[in-house]
């Protein structure tokens, strides 16, 4: 459908909807320009449209939230599409990030992303999803009953898991933290990532993991020694994807180098649940995770480059454990100290962990002094100058 003038994008499409089972799928968005806003969200809600998937950007996103209208896109911006973008057609096949979507195809979307299912394949897809869901539930039951994950995780063993599992018991992790690990973790107990980051800068250590962010805005700081895992492309036949988890000690931080891959996940709900039961501190991934609701419900700390729903099975496999890995452009050695919170992830080299904490405490003491001066009536310029704020994080020259 060719519009003579872009008075308001999509209004003819919204007006043409006559049933309450539709999701709008919009392609061709331009970076930095919104093709969705609160007026469209309200109009869509009134028409019974279930949601919108946009290969583009939105604005007035609070308006969509206010009417509980789901919007999935590539981000938000304040710039209107009016007189910048024109709708050229509707009801025809389109491309969404390499996927061809036809009118009447099915859409599933949640906080792990969006999938499109061809209409002619929907029955087959649902049967497979139901079967896999039953298997997943059986695996979770087995995990909760105390079975080792390495015993049950392989696809060939799924069918052998009984419908009836023993009642859940406390899953004790036989691998306990060493006294040295406990001492180092305790040293960082009162720290946060900004403070440790400043100390790393002062010491000239590159330890800030770029682009690795928390799943949600965690209120706590999580600290633990790194148990490192490296993933590689899958062989034929594929190798293991998760057996390593049985070797992770209580209090360890699982640190996974998936090479920055965002096209498949290496962590999902079974791993989250199992790790939580075994007292593992958290997980950092240079890559993506899925089944994020499980991690949120369980309050399990996850720090990743994003989330996406596609499995890593048959795509990647474990290439090595407890060897140096890369996380967000930072080299991480086994047993380095990981500190993670709502601000991101920092890595303290184990050999210099005590030095890092000592410097972080000195910097924090200086900042406390600045706050005290300001509370006493000093201007911020006076306080910063008096306590040498601009030198607190500056690397000292030898």
Binding positions for Mg(2+)? 291
Residues in a beta bridge with 109 = 114
What distance, in Å, lies between the first and last C-alpha atoms of the chain?
Answer: 69
Distances (CA, A) of 162 to 137, 165, 166, 248, 268: 11, 6, 10, 26, 22
Whether the ω angle into residue 237 lies within 30 degrees of 0, i.e. cis, is yes
Residue 318 CA to residue 258 CA, distance in Å, equals 9
Where would I find the H helices in 217-268? none
Residue among 87, 116, 79, 105 at smallest CA distance from 13: 87
Residue 223 CA to residue 285 CA, distance in Å, equals 15
Binding-site annotation, residues for substrate: 268-271, 290
Cα–chain-centroid distance for residue 160?
A: 32
* Token duo for residue 45: 């809600």
Binding-site annotation, residues: 268-271, 290-291
Q: What letter would DSSP give residue 119?
A: G
To 5 degrees, how large is the angle CA 210–CA 213–CA 218? 140
Residue 250 CA to residue 110 CA, distance in Å, equals 32
């Amino acid at each position: 459908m060719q519009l003579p003038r872009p008075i308001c994008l999509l209004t003819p499409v919204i007006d043409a909807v006559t049933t309450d089972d539709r999701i709008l799928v919009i392609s061709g968005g331009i970076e930095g320009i919104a093709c969705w806003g609160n007026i469209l969200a309200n109009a869509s809600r009134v028409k019974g449209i279930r949601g919108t998937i946009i290969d583009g950007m939105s604005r007035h996103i609070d308006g969509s939230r206010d009417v509980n209208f789901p919007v999935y896109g590539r981000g938000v911006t304040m710039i209107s599409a009016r007189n910048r973008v024109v709708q050229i057609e509707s009801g025809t096949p389109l491309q969404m990030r390499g996927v061809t979507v036809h009118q009447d195809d099915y859409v599933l979307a949640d906080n792990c992303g969006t999938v499109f299912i061809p209409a002619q394949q929907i029955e087959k897809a649902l049967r497979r999803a139901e079967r896999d869901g039953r298997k997943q539930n059986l695996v979770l039951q087995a995990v909760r009953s105390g079975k080792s994950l390495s015993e049950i995780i392989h696809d060939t063993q799924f069918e052998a898991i009984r419908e009836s599992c023993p009642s859940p018991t406390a899953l004790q992790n036989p691998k306990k933290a060493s006294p040295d690990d406990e001492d180092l973790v305790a040293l960082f107990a009162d720290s946060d990532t900004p403070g440790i980051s400043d100390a790393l800068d002062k010491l000239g250590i590159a330890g800030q993991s770029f682009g690795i962010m928390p799943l949600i805005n965690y209120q706590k700081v999580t600290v633990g020694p790194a148990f490192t895992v490296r993933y590689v492309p899958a062989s034929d036949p594929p190798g293991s994807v998760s057996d390593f988890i049985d070797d992770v000690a209580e209090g360890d931080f699982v640190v996974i180098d998936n090479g920055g891959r965002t096209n498949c996940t290496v962590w999902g709900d079974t791993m989250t649940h199992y790790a939580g039961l075994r007292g593992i501190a958290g997980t950092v991934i240079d890559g993506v995770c899925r089944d994020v609701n499980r991690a949120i419900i369980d309050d399990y700390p996850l720090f990743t480059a994003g989330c996406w729903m596609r499995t890593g099975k048959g795509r990647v496999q474990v290439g090595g454990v407890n060897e140096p890995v890369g996380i967000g452009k930072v080299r991480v050695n086994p047993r380095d100290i990981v500190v993670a919170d709502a601000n991101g992830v920092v890595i303290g080299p184990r050999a210099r962990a005590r030095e890092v904490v000592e410097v972080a405490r000195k910097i924090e003491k200086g900042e406390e002094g600045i706050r005290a001066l300001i509370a006493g009536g000093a201007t911020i310029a006076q306080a910063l100058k008096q306590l040498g704020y601009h030198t607190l994080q500056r690397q000292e020259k030898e």
